[in-house]
Structure formats: C-alpha cells, structure tokens
Homo-oligomer: A and B are copies of this chain.
Amino acid sequence: MITSTRNERVRAAAALHRSRERRLAARHLVEGPRALGAAIAAGVVEQVFATPDAAADLVVPTGVDLLLVADHVLDHLADARTPQGIVGVARTPVADPEVLASGRLIVVLDGVADPGNAGTIVRTADAAGADGVVLTAGSVDAYAPKVVRASAGSVHHLPVLTGLTLREALSACRRTPARSAPEGPRPVQVVGLDGAGERNVFDLARDDTGMVLVLGNEAHGLSADARGQVDVLARVPIVGRAESLNVAAAAAVAIYAVAGPWD
C-alpha cells in the first residue's frame, strides 16, 4: 500500500489537478464510482488509486493498474470534499472535429465558468442524444475533476471538443462534411440562448436542419461577440417573476426543446 504523497505515481497523478499538466500528459483524473465506472466502460482508464475499503467493492478490468493507497494519499489525489475512496487516471479522448460538420445537434459552451454547470450540461446533452459538445477556449477545462464528476461520466460518452474559439467551432459546424452528399453543405441553424432572445426555443424548426446551440457565461450570458456570430437568439420563455434561469436549467429546457420531438 502506498502511504506517501511523494510516491512517484501519486505525484504524477496529483499533477493532473493542473490544467496545463492535463494538456501536456493528455490524461485527467476521474473521481467517484459513477464517473469512474463510465470511464472504465469507455476504455480510457489506466490506473485506479483506491483505499483498501473502497477497493474491496471494486472490479477493475484487465489492463488497469489498481494501486492501494492510504486515506491521506487518496485525499491528496481527490478534489471532492467527500472523496469516495477512489480516483482514476484516464486518457483524455481526442474528439474528431468532423462530428461538428455532420452532427444533428451540437451544444457549444462559450464562457461557461462553473465546473458543476459545465458538467451538468454535458450530461444533459448526452441524455438528449446530442452528437457532440464544444467547450470553447474561454470555458472551464472539460477535464477538470469537478466537470468530469458533474458530468457523471458523460464526458466519456460523447465527443467533447476543447481548445477551439467560438469562431473556429462555428466555422467547423457550417463546413460541408467530408462524406456529404454532392449537393453541398446541409443547412445549419446556429442558435444562441439568451434571456432576451427574440425567438422562443419551443418555436424553432425541428426539421432536418442541423442545430448548433450556443450557451454563454452563467453571470453575463452570451458575449457581444457571440451574439454577432449566431443566426438567431432564442429564449426559454419565462412567465413567472424569476428574472432568469440557472444556466444548466435553461440549457436542459433548451436542449430538450430542440432535440425533440419527444411526444
């Protein structure tokens, strides 16, 4: 059992709390049974650090290293305030940008800063059958431990593209897919979600048009720059006295509104 936080493998894993190290190593941390189970199912987990208690309940597939660690070493590796005794190291998937040109529904997070919101939105996009998610360069790191955990494993379920600017992402969405029909690019509707949007999200056409839904920062909404790049601004209608919705709640309503019909 590893009892020192200075152990070489513990140090290498703990370094993944920093986004720069995550990028350089192309690895990230996955905490807790649910997110770790999803990552193992996705075949991206290389190592699992577990306390003896947590390891007793754990089935780790062939090819994944299981390392027993003391409680204080696990605390050192875990980001959550109530770690559940296991932390894994996973390879960061490289999503194929081609999905942007061919997806029926792409969700773009532009400046979403809170990791809980970002992870929850990735989870909702997964549940509603979106084809991919983009976290633009101004958003929280998609592989920060809190995002991975809030996504409940969904960052390992669908393509998640990072490091693009909004302009690059939308340009890729509007491009002709490599395997497209000879008649040229299919129509794509780029919708920005905005409390003051002129269109109701429930009124947007749900036909064969590809849909790109752009969500902005939780406090400030879509930036002026982002507003200038979308085709239409749409709102989740509000009839009560609330001024606005939580961004992850608004995203859930809007994603399900455009991913339907459901009835």
Binding site for B on A (CB under 8 A): 34, 116, 120, 123-130, 150, 152-154, 157-158, 200, 202-203, 236-246, 248-253, 256-257, 259-263
Contacts and interface: CB of A to CB of B under 8 A. Distances in A.
Contact of A249 (B120, B130, B202, B241): B120
Count of identical protomers in the assembly? 2
A263 B251 CA distance: 18
Nearest to A260: B202
A116 B262 CA distance: 28
Q: Which of A202, A249, A263 counts the most B-chain CB atoms under 10 A from its CB? A: A249
A236 to B, nearest CB: 7
A124 B246 contact: yes
A237 B252 contact: no
A158 B244 CA distance: 15
A242 B157 contact: yes
B202 A130 contact: no
Given A240-B128, A253-B256, A245 B123 contact: yes
A243 B120 CA distance: 13
A253 B128 CA distance: 11
B157 A246 contact: no
A200 B241 contact: no
Contact of A248 (B158, B203, B248, B259): B248
